């Protein structure tokens, strides 16, 4: 079959989705790499969009795709090129219902209208977290709306805990807690707390953990300098290790006993999926998104507040057998429900009208 790829999307998800579709025998063509957000930001002229639309129209006539797949449409980044060309199948993936408050008023109405037309035209619409699905219900009929969180490509080979700890200079006996994150600051525009604050909450749980427990922080971002100052205050030295950006995080997932992520924002985070795929249990906040990507009680523990989060941490850091049991279940769970291979099959079903 011939599938026409969406024109924008996440740097990790989109290449993996395209590769997965091609591996299953589909021909995928990316018809445009124009970021329409650059238009309302004043970085490209309106003539560029017109030229792009004409070029895509000509390409459509030559290619005649069986389906058009758009990744990441929203009011700020709507599909301006696909819905009005009446493709045979039209599917929106990783869809957001609204947004656009930061846009200039003179363009907000036009972009909102384009996005609403796109939603109305779509044969199937997939949201990537429960909040998005809630907002889309006002515009999309239930039989056309689906919830599919991000998926990951599972690593073929995961090093052993012993090998990883030896490589990273970690004790073989001590409980090791891992957090992988970008150290962001508060986003006042979106009323979203920074992940730097989350890491501070995580560091505060150390008082309830075994005295030899080690917290390893992997990541970088604007909050790193502040975290370095806080890490330096912890006694004994080395109990909290901030290692910065890492290209291959497998060694850190493999080295830890559990993965901790006390972030209270209701979004699905890829690091939580990665930890489970590496056979490590997760402890995170009990948001609706977390309930979608963690099999609570089987592959991880969800907390209603920071006190319960701390209690879950204390339990798992004292029970490696339980960690290992939950870790085995986690790898099986991700393979079955949140692997890229599984998600590609689900996209395929939407494109063929089987979902």
pLDDT tens column, 59-104: 888 878 889 999 999 999 999 998 888 889 999 999 999 877 888 8
124 contacts 156 by C-beta, under 8 angstroms? no
Residue percentage of the chain with pLDDT more than 70: 96
Residues 190 and 246 in one domain: yes
The pLDDT of residue 169: 97
Q: How far apart are CA 66 and CA 2, in angstroms?
A: 5
Q: Would the pLDDT of 4 be above 50?
A: no
Omega of the bond leading into 236 within 30 degrees of 0 (cis): yes
The pLDDT of residue 59: 85
Q: How far apart are CA 214 and CA 27, in angstroms?
A: 48
Residue with tokens 């993936």: 93
Residues 88 and 191 in one domain: no
* Helix axes 340-352 and 320-337, enclosed angle (nearest 10): 30
Task: For the sheet with 300-303, list strands across it.
Answer: 240-244, 214-218, 176-180, 258-261, 282-285, 300-303
DSSP string for 122-180: -SEEEESSHHHHHHHTTTS-GGGEEE----BPPPS----HHHHHHHHT--SSS-EEEEE
pLDDT tens column, 126-148: 999 999 999 999 999 999 999 99
pLDDT tens column, 189-236: 556 789 999 999 999 999 999 999 999 999 999 999 999 999 998 888
Report residue 267: phi and psi, to 5°.
Answer: -140, 155
Q: How far apart are CA 245 and CA 270, in angstroms?
A: 16
Sequence-ordered list of residues with C-beta below 8 angstroms from that of 343, at least 6 positions apart, any chain: 17, 20, 148, 151
Residues 128 and 180 in one domain: no
Residues 191 and 328 in one domain: yes
Residue with tokens 């869809």: 95
Q: Is 322 exposed, middle or buried (0-12, 13-18, 19+ CB in 10 A)?
A: middle
Q: How far apart are CA 347 and CA 355, in angstroms?
A: 9
Residues 47 and 91 in one domain: yes
119 contacts 125 by C-beta, under 8 angstroms? yes
Residues 246 and 143 in one domain: no
Residues 166 and 302 in one domain: yes
Average predicted confidence (pLDDT) for the chain: 92
Q: Which of 46-55, 120-129, 198-207 comes out lowest in average pLDDT? A: 46-55
Residues 67 and 133 in one domain: yes
Residues 249 and 192 in one domain: yes
Its domain, for residue 256, covers 161-337
Q: Which of 25-29, 50-54, 96-100 comes out lowest in average pLDDT? A: 96-100
Task: For the sheet with 67-71, list strands across it.
Answer: 27-30, 2-5, 67-71, 90-93, 124-127, 145-147
Whole-model pTM over 0.85: yes
Q: Label residue 1 by pLDDT band (50, 70, 90).
A: very low
H or E, element range at 241: strand 240-244
When pLDDT is averaged across residues 224-252 and rounded to a whole number, the result is 93
Q: Would the pLDDT of 9 be above 70?
A: no
Q: Who wins on pLDDT, 6 or 306?
A: 306
Residues 218-237 as b/e (b if ≥16 CB within 10 A, e otherwise) read bbebebbeebeeebeeeeee
Residues 212 and 246 in one domain: yes
Q: Which two tokens stand for residue 187?
A: 């986003």
Residues 175 and 317 in one domain: yes
For the chain, how many structural domains are there in total?
2
| Residue 289: CATH number of its domain | 3.40.50.2000
pLDDT tens column, 255-280: 999 999 999 999 999 999 999 999 99
The pLDDT of residue 8: 34
Report residue 46: phi and psi, to 5°.
Answer: -65, -30
pLDDT tens column, 299-323: 999 999 999 999 999 999 999 999 9
Residues 330 and 265 in one domain: yes
The pLDDT of residue 189: 55
Based on DSSP, count helices (H) and strands (E) in the chain, helices before strands.
Answer: 14, 12
């Amino acid at each position: 079959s011939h599938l026409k790829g969406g024109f924008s999307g996440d740097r990790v998800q989109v290449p993996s989705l395209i590769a997965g579709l091609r591996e299953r025998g589909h021909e995928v063509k990316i018809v445009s790499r124009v970021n329409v957000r650059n238009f309302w930001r004043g970085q490209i002229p309106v003539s560029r969009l017109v030229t792009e639309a004409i070029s895509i129209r000509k390409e459509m006539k030559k290619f005649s795709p069986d389906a058009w797949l758009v990744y990441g449409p929203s009011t700020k980044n709507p599909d301006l090129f696909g819905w009005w060309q009446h493709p045979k199948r039209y599917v929106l993936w990783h869809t957001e219902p609204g947004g656009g408050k930061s846009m200039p008023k003179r363009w907000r109405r036009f972009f909102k209208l384009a996005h609403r037309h796109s939603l109305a035209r779509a044969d199937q619409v997939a949201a990537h977290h429960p909040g998005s699905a809630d907002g889309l219900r006002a515009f999309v009929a239930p039989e056309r709306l689906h919830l599919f969180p991000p998926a990951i490509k599972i690593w073929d080979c995961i090093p052993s805990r012993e090998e990883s700890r030896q490589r990273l200079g970690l004790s073989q006996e001590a409980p090791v807690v891992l957090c992988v994150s970008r150290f962001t600051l508060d986003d006042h525009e979106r009323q979203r707390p920074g992940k730097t604050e989350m890491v501070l909450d995580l560091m505060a749980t150390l008082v309830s953990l075994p005295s030899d427990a080690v917290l390893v922080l992997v990541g970088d971002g604007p909050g790193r300098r502040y975290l370095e100052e806080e890490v330096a205050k912890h006694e004994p030295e080395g109990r909290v290790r901030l290692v910065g950006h890492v290209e291959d995080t497998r060694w850190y997932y493999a080295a830890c006993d559990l993965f901790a992520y006390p972030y209270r924002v209701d979004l699905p985070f890829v690091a939580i999926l990665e930890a489970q795929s590496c056979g490590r249990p997760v402890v995170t906040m009990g948001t609706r998104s977390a309930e979608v990507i963690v099999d609570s009680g089987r592959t991880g523990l969800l907390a209603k507040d920071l006190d319960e989060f701390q209690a879950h941490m204390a339990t798992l850091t004292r029970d490696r057998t339980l960690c290992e049991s939950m870790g085995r279940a986690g790898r099986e769970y991700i393979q079955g429900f949140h692997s890229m291979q599984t998600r590609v099959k689900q996209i395929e079903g939407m494109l063929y009208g089987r979902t």
